[in-house]
């Protein structure tokens, strides 16, 4: 299954940013068990490349492990070497997009305007990351989707339990969840069962994965 189809099915991407190395494995396990198999490990995290490699080997086809905060080509290369299945950046850099495409990976660059969305697609991106989505609001997505209906948008930044559904209803393909899901207090206190339950709450809001709705 192509990575964008995985996003369409599950809708939620968990963003693991600077999770302590001794807690990252348990946090990832809780997220996957909670129903969120798409994990983005930000490359500014300690041990990011090692986590990507380890989780690829451990979870196989049960999870999809990508790299985030790809700020330059060198970081993209490091992520690819670690086995990342997709690359996400907070900005649009055509060189990163083209590098990912050459290596057979989806790259979802950060964009803010319709012009950047079109530039990203021309460079080879199959989807764009709208960041910071919370500052723009779901109405912005509805407006953009008028002329750019076919652009797959992954909304990230400022999305939480109370507004996630509004972004999905506005037409986004997926949602990136950072601090609203990866609650630092829960992780610091090793409350992984609570983290798993929080993941389940987001999954419930997102609805059953497409293809599973008749089950």
CA distance 138 to 171: 9
157: left (phi over 0), alpha (psi -120 to 50) or beta: left
Which of 11, 40, 126, 196 is an active site residue?
40
Annotated active-site residue 116? The verdict is no
Are the C-beta atoms of 3 and 64 separated by less than 8 Å?
Answer: yes
Strand order of the β-sheet with 38-42 is 106-108, 86-88, 64-68, 38-42, 12-16, 174-177, 153-156, 128-130, 110-111
Annotated active-site residue 185? The verdict is no
- In the numeric block, the tokens 């057979």 are attached to 104
Are the C-beta atoms of 17 and 44 separated by less than 8 Å?
Answer: yes
CA distance 171 to 149: 9
Which of 11, 126, 129, 196 is an active site residue?
129
Active site members:
40, 129
């Amino acid at each position: 299954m192509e990575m964008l189809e995985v996003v369409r099915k599950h809708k939620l991407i968990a963003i693991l940013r600077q999770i302590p190395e001794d807690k990252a494995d348990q946090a990832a396990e809780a997220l996957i068990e909670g129903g969120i198999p798409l994990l983005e490990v930000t490359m500014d995290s300690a041990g990011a490349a090692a986590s990507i490699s380890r989780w690829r080997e451990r979870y196989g086809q049960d999870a999809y492990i990508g790299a985030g905060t790809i700020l330059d080509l060198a970081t993209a290369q490091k992520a690819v070497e670690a086995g990342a299945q997709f690359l996400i950046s907070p900005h649009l850099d055509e060189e990163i997009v083209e590098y990912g495409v050459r290596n057979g990976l989806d790259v979802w660059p950060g964009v803010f305007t319709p012009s950047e969305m079109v530039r990203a697609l021309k460079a080879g991106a199959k989807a764009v990351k709208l960041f910071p989505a919370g500052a723009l609001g779901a109405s912005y997505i509805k407006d953009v989707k008028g002329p750019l209906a076919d652009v797959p948008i992954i909304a990230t930044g400022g999305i939480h339990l109370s507004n996630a559904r509004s972004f999905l209803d506005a037409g986004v393909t997926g949602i990136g969840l950072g601090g609203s899901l990866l609650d630092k207090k829960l992780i610091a206190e090793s409350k992984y069962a609570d983290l798993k339950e929080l993941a389940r709450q987001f999954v419930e809001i997102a609805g059953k994965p497409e293809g599973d709705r008749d089950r």
